[in-house]
Amino acid sequence: MTFRMIGQNRFWRAVFGRRMVICFFNGFSAGMPLFFLYQLLPAWLRSEHVDLKTIGLFSLVGIPYTWKFVWAPFMDRYVPPFLGRRRGWMLITQLILLLTMSLFGLFDPRHQVPFIAALACFVAFASASQDIVLDAYRRELLPDEELGLGNAMYVNGYRAAVFIPGGLGLVMAGFLPWRAVFFGVACFMAIGIMKTVFIAEVAVDVNPPKSIREAVWLPFCEFFDRKGGVGQGLLLLAFLFLYKIGDSMATSLSTPFYLDLGFSMTVIGTMVKMITFWAMIVGSILGGIVIFTSGINRSLWYAGGVQMVSILGFALLSTLGPSLPLLGGVIAFEYLGVGFGTSALVAFMSRATSHNFTATQFALFSSLIALPRTFVNALTGFMIEGVGRDDGVYFTVLGGWQGMGYTNFFLFCTLCAIPGIILLKWVAPWKCHGAVIGP
Which DSSP state fits 401?
E
Average pLDDT over residues 119-133: 91
Instruction: Specify the pLDDT at position 7.
Output: 47
Share of the chain above pLDDT 90, in %: 7
Kindly state the helix (H) or strand (E) to which residue 402 belongs, with its residue range: strand 401-402
- Which residues are CB-contacts of 431 (< 8 A; sequence separation ≥ 6)? none
pLDDT tens for 6-31 read 445 555 555 566 788 888 889 889 98
CB 431 within 8 A of CB 298: no
Better-predicted residue by pLDDT, 88 or 217: 88
Instruction: Specify the pLDDT at position 93.
Output: 93
pLDDT tens for 232-286 read 778 888 888 888 888 888 877 777 788 888 887 777 767 776 777 677 777 767 7
* Averaged pLDDT score across all residues of the chain: 78
Angle, in degrees to the nearest 10, between helices 273-294 and 296-320: 150
CA nearest to 8, candidates 344, 289, 295, 300 = 289
Residue 33 has pLDDT above 50, yes or no: yes
pLDDT tens for 350-361 read 777 776 667 777
Kindly state the helix (H) or strand (E) to which residue 387 belongs, with its residue range: strand 386-387
CA–CA distance, 272 with 270 (Å, rounded to integer): 6
pLDDT tens for 105-122 read 888 777 777 888 889 889
Question: Which span out of 166-170, 182-186, 267-271, 329-333 was modeled with the highest average pLDDT?
Answer: 182-186
CB 144 within 8 A of CB 29: no
The DSSP bridge partners found for residue 401 are: 387
Radius of gyration of the chain measured on its C-alpha atoms: 21
- 390 burial via Cβ count (<10 Å: 0-12, 13-18, 19+): exposed
CB 55 within 8 A of CB 46: yes
401-402 and 386-387 beta bridge pairing: antiparallel
CB 253 within 8 A of CB 55: yes
How many other CB atoms are found less than 10 A from the CB of residue 274? 14
Instruction: Specify the pLDDT at position 253.
Output: 75
**Main-chain phi, psi angles of 411, to 5 degrees:** -65, -40
Domains of the chain plus CATH, in order, are 11-427 (1.20.1250.20)
- Which residues are CB-contacts of 44 (< 8 A; sequence separation ≥ 6)? 104, 109, 173, 178
Kindly state the helix (H) or strand (E) to which residue 308 belongs, with its residue range: helix 296-320
3-state DSSP call for residue 386? Answer: strand
Q: Is residue 2 very low, low, confident or very high in pLDDT (cuts 50, 70, 90)?
A: very low
Better-predicted residue by pLDDT, 102 or 3: 102
- Which residues are CB-contacts of 346 (< 8 A; sequence separation ≥ 6)? 151, 154, 155
**Main-chain phi, psi angles of 181, to 5 degrees:** -60, -50
Better-predicted residue by pLDDT, 207 or 422: 422
CB 157 within 8 A of CB 25: yes
3-state DSSP call for residue 404? Answer: coil
CB 252 within 8 A of CB 56: yes
Residue 92 has pLDDT above 90, yes or no: yes
